[in-house]
Structure 1
Amino acid sequence: MKSIYVGPESDKPSFSWVSKDIFDTLKDEYNVIYFRAFKEIPKSFDGLVFIIKEMPPLSFFVNNWKSRKIYIPVDFFKSEKHINDASLLLKLFDRIAVHNDLLKRFIDSENVSNVDHYVKYLVERKEPQNRYMWLGVVDYIPDLLRNLSKYPVLSQIPHVFLTDLDHLKKSLHSVVAEGEVGHNVYDVDVTEDKVFIGNYCFEQWSESSQRAAFERSAFAVDFKSDRFYHSTKPPTKVQVYLANDVPVFVNDEHYAVEYIRQFGFDCYTMSDFVFPLTNEMLTSQSTKARQMWSLESIAQQYVNLANQTLSQTRKSYFGYGSIVFSLMVKKLVKLIQSSWNKSQ
């Protein structure tokens, strides 16, 4: 049985979603070894290493030159410059797998593949109530507020907004300031278990509160700006909404519109919005979504990644070594410049 290393392992839920849940289903095919530090991988190992999110240090490429390396950056890159700065390191990977097609435009490599998140948090829908839902991290709340100002019809419908409440409380003033549009200034109020921004109430996300929202919400909204970090995020939430038969409305520039529609799904924008929703908008899409993005289907995508990588021509030792040497020189120059600047 072939061994593969997967990591760096993290206690964050995202690590399970993107890797551990998936590789645990492949233990009949591979001897899966999770690592927390790159130095745990033997220098003599010549099999596959799946690297999730964290960019390895140069020493890893020097010490583990025998292994085949697949990099899955997930949400690692924050800007185009961030990718450019890592361009030489990226050339040392045998394959790069991205959760968003747009990233391919910025990564200079012939061996870039697509992978999806599997659809997690599945529920059985109950009779929808007259309300809609939004869930997301605090970073997306300014976009939510700006779009709520743009589409005032939403302010007339009850809502459930779920986020990390502690984080929101700590960054409340900057979030509100970034989300204010024109003369639309929000009053804020904070209680132990809620944060009010204007007439909008934010509550703590949990699996149980999310489940209840999925079961009963009439529809959901998800807004992303065209900024690099937002536009290159995977369309995970939209996929999960579809798999739970929660009709979802997004803004026109949302990446999910292009991505989801290519598979024959209906992905509605706010330009389509009417309430109550039409029968067409209520058409079930969950069976297809659950099949396409099931844990088993996504695990097969990872198997395909492994097979593609093992079948492709290995990087020449000269080519690999020349990139490593260039990076070592670059690092040395930075150290010299830093020392020089400190001495002045």
Structure 2
Amino acid sequence: MTPALLLLCFGTADPVANPDEVALEEITAESVVDVNSEASGATATTAEVAKEATTEPKSPYRDSKVELGLSTRALGLNKADELMYNPSTIMALRLKPHWWVSDNMYVSGRFDTFAELTDADWMTGTFYGSDISLSGGYNSIYVIPVVDVELSASATLTIPTSTFSRAETLLLGTGVEVAASRSFPVLGGLQIGYSFEFSKAWHEYTTTAGGARLEGPCALGVNADRCGFEVGSGERNVSWTVNNTLNASITINDWISGVVAGGLGVGQLYGAEESDPRESNSVSDPTHARYHALTMAKVTFFSSNIISGSLGLVSFHTQQMPDSSLRSPFLNRFTRITADLIVDLDDALHLEILQ
């Protein structure tokens, strides 16, 4: 899921936003793509066939990873960008087990813990846990002839183990995603893709417990790569979300690759109580949809089969700022600079012995 695009990030500082005016919403914009070169089309020789026959089988636990990540607010690097200087640096530890049932079918999970390293006032020195995500998918379900576009699909269950989701009275999160991708023989491999995702949240109540919006993971800047971001939805919970994402990834050589992505989405809130027409301050036609956009660029460096690192810039764009003006899409108060250290568990622990 990913063309070699160049993101020029120009933007202006945003006015200080009131955290109570924004709401937490989970959207998924993180894409893990294996970029492979297209087959050359040449007929394999007898020696090549014999070599492939003796190749060791792939471990079913490949792609299992542990990540140590840091992210900081981009505008926090300049004290003059906002009226109230509030730098924010977040440390996160992510566990991502992955099991390939077959060459194309997989089951994966994810759990994060995180804490703010800067002065966070209400949560200084406190570690928080994320929800547990369980996913299953199938790659290359069908290849469209002539254009060689591969279709894939996946489904996700979200178990509300975080304090934020419990404050929203989330019972269970569900989601399905359909993706299309096309590979090109450029450098080490170029892949361009599109994904459509629909997610439904099942809540006990349609409104949120007090304070949950202030303590959302987006306010902390965690899960920036997964896009747990703030959306101006007030105190009502988000019932369902639709996301459309375009992405491109390219492998330069054996030790460096890059990915860019951009997406648009909409979250539908639970319906509000009907307004009393006798009240002058009631809303005659309330809006229940909240729109958002995401841009992301990341470069990954491979030092070995076990350890790799990445640097990225992730920006979230809500519908409007508190003063009703448009927010800069590439550089605003939700833009974060990320740095990750990634350990491949399969190669590090030799998980093939568990087969």
TM-score when scaled to structure 1? 0.19
Normalized per residue, the structure richer in strand is 2
